[in-house]
Amino acid sequence: MDFSTLSELYSKLENESSGNKLREILAEFFLSTNKEEPTLLPTLTYLSLGKIAPDYKNSVLGIAEKLLLKAIAKAANKGSKETMTLMQKDGDVGLVAQKLLKVKPMTLVPVAKLTVEELWKTLHKIKSISGNKSQDTKEKILISLFQKTTGSEAKYLARIILQNMRLGVADMTVLDALAIAFTGEKSNKKILERAYNVCPDLAVIASSLVELGLEGIGDIPIKVGRPIRVMLAQRVASLSGVSEKISGELQVEAKYDGERIQIHKDSSGKITLYSRRMEDITYQYPDVQSFLKQEIAKTAQSYILEGEIMALDLEKGGHKNFQTLMKRKRKTEIEKHAKQIPVAIYCFDILLLNEKNLMNESFTVREKALESILKKKDRIRRIEFIKTNEVSEAKAYFDKMIARGEEGVIIKSQGEGSLYKAGARDWNWIKWKKDYNHELVDTFDLVVIGAFYGKGKRSGTYGSLLCATYNHETDTFESISKLGTGLTDKMLEEIPFLLRKHEVDKKPARCNVKKEMTPDLWFEPYLVVEVIAAEITKGGLHTCSMHSVMNKSTGKKEMKGYALRFPRLIQIRADKKPEDGTYSEEIVGIANN
């Protein structure tokens, strides 16, 4: 397949404003490709997202924007000054490449068209290059690639290399398209998603669906070295509501303000640490690897553990906050910061032990397995908890955790049905945080999809952000709040920098926003922020769980959505993907309680 064919697809997707049409275009392309070049389908599932591998395989090419611009300029026989002028104007390397390479550049030897197969092999070759003069080698390869492209091909080639496609396509969109293409029903995406939750690799899902059909897709096993999408907790309007959702004895666990982590050890002894975004963060925590080897029983030849990694205050005892821990997220001076910011892991679940899948076992069985391998409990600890039949005791334990400076508690069922449900937000786990006990009603993880220009003191930067919840059923982001309070001067410098590469010139297809709330700038869903609000209201400006409501005054039905009143930004949540944000369905549950 010529890359020009793929770039034509990308152009259709980028110019499509309907989320449903977006999925249909992608489904049609997958289906036709599978008929003509079936071996290419897995590759296309990655490239549609601007990736060359799933997130957990660290697929970053390591090409800086500056190097890419330099290669594009040389491929087009243009000067650096002209290139940088275009970049300052457009803010998108893809558009710069498209303009500089309007026509295929003249070369001494005629070059063939770029094929998808050649691109795929070349990108993997670039990723493997390291050592002295590696940047020079990468630059030469990039120049060669761009010399084989023109116009929109160059634009999308640049975006693939920077892994920022701006097409409105994400993992769930691809699952929708695969369901439509190979089962004929978009509703079958739920079956594909269950498989994806234990195997977050779209290429494997696509290949298995084509080869095994819908009936065989559920047989994909969990695997050490391939992260599992984490199980999430529900929330209740008050602690008294816990007994309505969970019967029998409760396990009430401390909820810390740290980073959730999934730990994999294979039979050879290799240890890999994954963030909740399913990114390999092993290199950030060399000390944790040593602790695991010293403090987990030797009988645990392979395992998958879940826990919360916390920054420790060794002088005063207790923990330091999340922002302190985030200082460990770096690629340089790792050993130095490991000493400055010591950590511990508080384990709360085990999903596999010695190649046995424990996800379908009850929480009680998993707990016993976890306890059996935690020995020294110095830096690899069991999370703190109590067992009780009384909600009042859960409340007392919650108060104790808050007084100590923790975030709250997670209340867990111990019944026969207390399985580990990957990727699900399930009533077997209920979270209760200190913010729920505050005069303000709740905290939410919202996705920034737009920005409004500031006035007065904020002139020249953002005045407020348009934020959205994630509708899991429709794979869309629905506006819920215009956020201006809580934006400090530091954040007003940081947020535009984080969002610059995700700015698009029109509303992304997966975003649902009313015309009255159109922002000055649109962004692809990328940045997650934690927000606190006074209450949830219904109104006509936002689309979160929008539904028909009877207006008692006029006797007519109106479409109204949920909105947050007096929202205030707390912090940026770099550890969460857009799809990990607060669900629209959660907002409905809280509002109705």
Tell me which residues are annotated as active site: 255
Could you tell me which residues come within 8 angstroms of residue 134 by beta carbon, excluding any fewer than 6 positions away?
none
Q: What distance in Å separates the CA atoms of residue 63 and residue 163, rounded to the nearest whole number?
A: 10
Could you tell me which residues come within 8 angstroms of residue 422 by beta carbon, excluding any fewer than 6 positions away?
197, 198, 228, 229, 230, 231, 359
For residue 557, list its beta bridge partners: 550
Closest CA to 389 of 246, 237, 234, 235: 246
- Whether residue 224 contacts residue 350, with contact meaning beta carbons closer than 8 Å, is answered with no
Closest CA to 24 of 35, 34, 12: 12
**Cα distances (Å, whole numbers) of residue 144 to 74, 113, 154, 292, 421:** 10, 11, 12, 46, 47
For residue 583, list its beta bridge partners: 470
Q: What distance in Å separates the CA atoms of residue 384 and residue 254, rounded to the nearest whole number?
A: 6
Q: Which residue has the tokens 């199980």?
A: 231
State the helix-helix crossing angle for 152-162 and 93-100, rounded to 10 degrees. 150
Using CB atoms within 10 A of its CB, is residue 252 exposed (0-12), middle (13-18) or buried (19+)?
buried
- Count Cβ atoms below 10 Å from residue 382 Cβ, excluding itself: 15
Q: What distance in Å separates the CA atoms of residue 68 and residue 48, rounded to the nearest whole number?
A: 20
* Sign (positive or negative) of CA dihedral 470, 471, 473, 475: negative
The terminus-to-terminus CA distance of the chain in angstroms comes to 54
Beta strands (DSSP E) in 419-502 are 425-433, 442-453, 462-471, 476-483
Q: What distance in Å separates the CA atoms of residue 251 and residue 429, rounded to the nearest whole number?
A: 10
State the helix-helix crossing angle for 3-14 and 152-162, rounded to 10 degrees. 80
Q: What is the DSSP letter of 527?
A: -
**Cα distances (Å, whole numbers) of residue 567 to 62, 385, 441, 577:** 37, 32, 11, 21
Looking only at the bridges linking them, the beta strands covering 462-471 and 476-483 are antiparallel
The torsion defined by the Cα of 347, 353, 356 and 362, in degrees rounded to 10, comes to: -30
* Sign (positive or negative) of CA dihedral 306, 310, 316, 318: negative
Three-class secondary structure of residue 348 per DSSP: strand
- Count Cβ atoms below 10 Å from residue 299 Cβ, excluding itself: 10
Q: How is residue 373 written in tokens?
A: 């391998």
Q: How is residue 56 written in tokens?
A: 């957990």
Rounded to 5 degrees, φ, ψ at 590 are -70, -45
To 5 degrees, how large is the angle CA 246–CA 249–CA 252? 80
Closest CA to 531 of 483, 466, 462, 476: 483
